Chain A
Amino acid sequence: MSECIVITSGKGGVGKTTTTANIGAALALQGRRVVVVDADIGLRNLDVVLGLENRIVYDLVHVVEGECRVKQALIKDKRIEGFYLLPAAQTRDKNAVSPDQMRRLVAQLKETHDYVLMDCPAGIEQGFKNSIAGADRAIIVTTPEVSAIRDADRIIGLVEAAELPEPTLIINRYNSRMVKAGDMMDKDDILEILAIPLLGMIPESEEVIVASNRGQPAVLDEASMVGEAMRRVARRLEGESDVPFVALEEPDGLWLAFKRWMGLAPVREVAG
């Protein structure tokens, strides 16, 4: 049974693209056939985060306009078996595609993949409507900030109005040191306000910038805490229950980080 999941947030810059890239890669590493679709037409980025920008020939708009077949536009990630990218067009705008065309595209992609992950553009206009058109469900990405949570609340309402099932939440850039100091809303504060099930918590980390500098998703790095948190999101999506959330504590000291890198210390866990 194939599924199309849209990753959305309302606000820009909260980590939709990084999340899409990592969850997609993690699902493929777990043996599923995955295609990640960049629905941000005119501002494509998913290709860069994945390090696949030099291999684009055709894009999503070429496919929906019938200039090429879907298979010609899909870019195979050589590092991960069963992982594909459908890039966005860079020189067109959101109105180049209609919700109906997206619905047909998603149906086609679902024939050959277990998961179609849609990286939704920021905002609530055409790009958002296109992205949710073919989706079976939605994942909302937010950060522990007033503006991001406000927009997440708005998007949850729009997802429900589109008659998709109740969305799930990923809290990105969680900084435990600030939470401990009382200077950041914690997981329970956010869940109390948004009132949807929690799918994942991703620690704030410099690793993400290093990963995007290199075009290597964090899940490819066994020792990365962000990668581990993303792998766990993928396991939860696969229906595995009771996957603990990665402990979102301060960064390790150098020695512990080294031991972890050597595989001599376990990844920290907390129940919850």
Chain B
Amino acid sequence: MKTLLNRINRLFNNRGASKEDAKQRLKFLLIHDQVDLTPAQLDAMKAEIMEVICRYMDVDHQQTVFRLERLQDKVALVSSVPVRRVTQRPETISHSPT
């Protein structure tokens, strides 16, 4: 009985979902086609940038956004990094390489 209900539910919930999937995937594809940066490279860049940010601040990783967006004919890197608190005062930062 439960599986039947699930199936009916899925039937209805799936309706109208695939067009949005198509749009999102397409927008993502076109941006990466344009800047020639693979999703893996973007992830690597994000990890490096986050590493630097985390030396200074305690941030909410769950809420962090890092993505490329198409603005007319240009591509922008849009990011939002919610800060919980600053962990290190600027004057105490040492510049020794790690």
Binding site for B on A (CB under 8 A): 145-146, 149-150, 153-154, 179, 181-186, 189, 193
Closest Cβ–Cβ distance, residue B20 to chain A (whole Å): 8
- CB <8 Å contact, B18 and A183: yes
A153-B33, A154-B33 known; A146+B26 contact, CB < 8 A: yes
Q: What are the interface flags for B30-62 relative to A under an 8 Å C-beta threshold, 1 for contact and 0 otherwise?
A: 100100000000000000000000000000000
In the assembled complex, B74 has its CB within 8 A of some CB on chain A: no
- CB <8 Å contact, A193 and B19: no
- CB <8 Å contact, A153 and B16: no
- CB <8 Å contact, B16 and A182: yes
In the assembled complex, B25 has its CB within 8 A of some CB on chain A: yes
A185-B23, A189-B23 known; A146+B18 contact, CB < 8 A: no
- CB <8 Å contact, A153 and B23: no
- CB <8 Å contact, B23 and A181: no
- Chain B residues near A182 (CB-CB < 8 A): 15-20
- CB <8 Å contact, B27 and A193: yes
Distance of A146 Cα from B22 Cα, bound (Å): 6
Interface residues of B in 5-22 (CB under 8 A from A): 15-20, 22
Closest Cβ–Cβ distance, residue A142 to chain B (whole Å): 11
In the assembled complex, B29 has its CB within 8 A of some CB on chain A: yes
Closest 4 CB pairs of A and B: A182-B16, A183-B18, A146-B26, A182-B19
Distance of A145 Cα from B20 Cα, bound (Å): 12
Interface residues on B, range: 10 to 19
Closest Cβ–Cβ distance, residue A157 to chain B (whole Å): 9
- CB <8 Å contact, A146 and B33: no
- Chain A residues near B15 (CB-CB < 8 A): 181-183
- CB <8 Å contact, B19 and A150: no
Chain B minimum-CB-distance residue to A182: B16
- Chain B residues near A149 (CB-CB < 8 A): 26
Can you list 8 A-B contacts (CB < 8 A)?
A146-B26, A181-B16, A182-B16, A183-B15, A183-B18, A184-B19, A189-B19, A193-B26
Distance of A193 Cα from B25 Cα, bound (Å): 12
- CB <8 Å contact, B18 and A150: no
- CB <8 Å contact, A183 and B30: no
Distance of A114 Cα from B16 Cα, bound (Å): 45
Distance of A185 Cα from B19 Cα, bound (Å): 5
Chain A minimum-CB-distance residue to B24: A146
- Chain A residues near B25 (CB-CB < 8 A): 146
- CB <8 Å contact, A183 and B26: no
- Chain A residues near B17 (CB-CB < 8 A): 182
- CB <8 Å contact, B33 and A183: no
Known: A182-B20, A183-B19. 11 other contacts (CB 8 A): A146-B26, A150-B26, A150-B33, A153-B33, A181-B15, A182-B15, A182-B16, A182-B17, A185-B19, A185-B26, A193-B23
